[in-house]
Chains A and B, each alone.
Chain A
């Protein structure tokens, strides 16, 4: 069965620090990849997505992610975090299979706390 691993469950950074959140998935076929963010008290929002093409994708609020197929990874990065980036971040994968499953498989999330 497919799975998604987010190895960092809790991350604490100071403002202006750089961020990298890891995401690895287990599926050897074609995938669509997503990062969602959940700010305190709000619902899941799309941060960025990868379907095909340039493996370096840019999302909202200065976030970017790089798809490295050989490493089954889709790590999220931001060069300089802000206090407002405090949130929970979820990596999700849609494994494109012959049975046309469109479900997303989520990692367990990473809670990011940015100290002012």
Chain B
């Protein structure tokens, strides 16, 4: 069990640029989550995948944000036309749901990608 990994760990970009983050979940975990955390706040939910299907998106996820999990393994989160308000820590978590509708899985978090938009 190598844990959830995220790449890059830090990203500095200029306003208006596009950025893409990657998340590799714990092997065989079928659920994958993205959260965003700003200074002094707890993580806020962005979106969630069960295998390759994106099943829930937060209203925080504007149309500039897109997430994919094409083969049900790693996931990418892309932000287009970045704004200074996008500066935050982007966290990925994964969990193993033994049944399709299971609600007792535990989310394990990665180290996050810290985005700074200048």
Determine, out of B10-18, B62-70, B72-80, B109-117, the stretch whose residues face the partner at the interface.
B109-117
Interface string of B19-49 (1 = CB under 8 A from A): 0000000000001010100001111110010
Residue among B41, B45, B101 making CB contact with A104, cutoff 8 Å? B45
Main secondary structure of the interface of B (DSSP, over half): loop
The total of interchain contacts (Cβ-Cβ below 8 angstroms) comes to 57
Interface residues of B (CB under 8 A from A): 31, 33, 35, 40-45, 48, 55-56, 58, 91, 95, 97, 101, 103-112
Q: What band does the interface of chain A fall in when counting residues whose beta carbon is under 8 Å from B? A: 20 to 34
Q: What is the minimal beta-carbon distance from B63 to any residue of chain A, in angstroms?
A: 20
Interface string of A87-116 (1 = CB under 8 A from B): 000101010100011111111110000000
Determine, out of A12-20, A42-50, A68-76, A77-85, the stretch whose residues face the partner at the interface.
A42-50
